[in-house]
Amino acid sequence: MRLVIIVALLAVIGAASVWWRRRDGHLHEASGSLRPQDLGLSRRSQEVATIVEFTGAGCGPCGPLRERLDALANEIGDVRVIAIDAGERLDLADRYDVRRVPTILIADERLRIRWRASGVPNDRELREALLGPAWAGRPHPDTADERS
Amino acid sequence: MENTVMVDRNGMRFGAGLSAAVLVIAFAIDLDIIVPIVALALGLGAAFGPSWSPMSLLFKGLRASVLRGMRPDPEPATPPRFAQFVGTMFLLAATLGLYVYESEAVGWGLALIVAVLQALLATTGICVGCEVYLLMKRLQAKGT
């Protein structure tokens, strides 16, 4: 009987681990909108894609992720990165359903949320989200170059 | 600026994995005495800070020797300390179940809940007790 319980517990832990690894740090499509006033943006702010990173005190991976996001934004050009301390802005953490840090939201020019991830996504996923075919409403830079 | 005591997340995960394994093995061989021993180990971390638990001290020893290349992954100590407090309470209740009420179902049921949560922390990094702590802080901040 004890052996059966142990096997069942190990199965539960194994399943939970697999589920978590598939979810953690992976971007998935999301909906909703960012409010300009939440981000300190005026109506006259330049319309570019927006990455919001929710950070927190003592969050080890948040700083390195911010550096990677900034580097990606510099490389791509029309992307802005905004960091929000979830501990200081609990109202925003609640509004955007942020349960852990880092959490990132990627929104298009109209501030419609397209992607979100809890954890640390890799560069390939970030590029795919910002430049890939699934990105609606934003021309791929290569295509834009061809048109100009 | 307020100073935040930090702990190495790797150490917390190592300690959680070790105590989960010890509890499961004790359950397998029906060794009740392990439950209060693990309660005491977690209780030391809850009382004096996570880095004072025997598991963390063992991890420190390993880091100084075989795990020398491992990069530390710091996190604030308060949420894991709260989680260790909750784990200690569960294991104390489990001890009461086993020794006072002589109920294996209650005693080992509570101990295995701790073992599963510790195993989840070890394998995925999910700290349920820490999440409860952060949720309480959030509710507290909303109330003020």
Q: Kindly list the residues from chain B whose CB atom is less than 8 angstroms away from the CB atom of residue A100.
A: 131
- Classify residue B93: in a domain, yes or no: yes
Tokens of A140: 């791929």
Q: Kindly list the residues from chain A whose CB atom is less than 8 angstroms away from the CB atom of residue B125.
A: 20, 24
- Classify residue B17: in a domain, yes or no: yes
Tokens 């702010």, residue located: A45
Strand order in the sheet with A28-29: A28-29, A113-118, A103-107, A49-55, A79-85
Work out the minimum CA distance from A145 to partner chain B, whole angstroms: 42
pLDDT tens for each residue of A112-121: 999 999 989 9
pLDDT tens for each residue of B1-40: 445 688 888 899 999 999 999 999 999 999 999 999 999 9
* Amino acid code (one letter) for B38: V
Tokens of A66: 């911010």
Q: Kindly list the residues from chain A whose CB atom is less than 8 angstroms away from the CB atom of residue B11.
A: none
Domain that holds residue B105: 6-143
Among B4, B28, B75, whose Cβ lies nearest the Cβ of A2? B28
Residue B142 near chain A (CB below 8 Å): yes
- Classify residue B129: in a domain, yes or no: yes
Which range, of A27-41, A75-89, B68-82, B109-123, averages the lowest pLDDT?
A: B68-82
Work out how many domains chain B is built from and give that number. 1
- Classify residue B1: in a domain, yes or no: no
ipTM attached to this prediction: 0.79
Tokens 């501990």, residue located: A87
CB A58 within 8 A of CB B74: yes
pLDDT tens for each residue of B65-94: 888 888 887 788 888 899 999 999 999 999
Q: How far apart are the C-alpha atoms of A66 and A82, rounded to whole Å?
A: 9
Displacement of CA B19 from its chain's centroid (Å): 7
* Amino acid code (one letter) for A42: S
Would you say residue B104 has pLDDT above 50? yes
Would you say residue A147 has pLDDT above 70? no
- Classify residue B99: in a domain, yes or no: yes
Contacts of A78 (CB under 8 A, 6+ apart): A48, A49
DSSP string, B1-38: -----EEEHHHHHHHHHHHHHHHHHHHHTT-TTHHHHH
pTM value > 0.80: no
- Classify residue B13: in a domain, yes or no: yes
Q: Exposed (0-12), middle (13-18) or buried (19+): which is B95, by Cβ within 10 Å?
A: buried
pLDDT at B69: 81
- Classify residue B26: in a domain, yes or no: yes
The strand pair at B6-8 and B74-76 is best described as antiparallel
Tokens 């693990």, residue located: B38
Best mutation target among B81, B136, B138 (most A Cβ atoms within 10 Å) is: B138
Q: Characterize B41-60 residue by residue with b for buried, 16 or more Cβ atoms within 10 angstroms of its Cβ, and e for exposed.
A: bbbbbbeebbbebbbbbebe
Q: What average pLDDT does chain A have?
A: 84
The angle at the Cα of B16, spanning A55 to B119, to the nearest 5 degrees, equals: 90
Q: How far apart are the C-alpha atoms of A132 and A109, rounded to whole Å?
A: 16
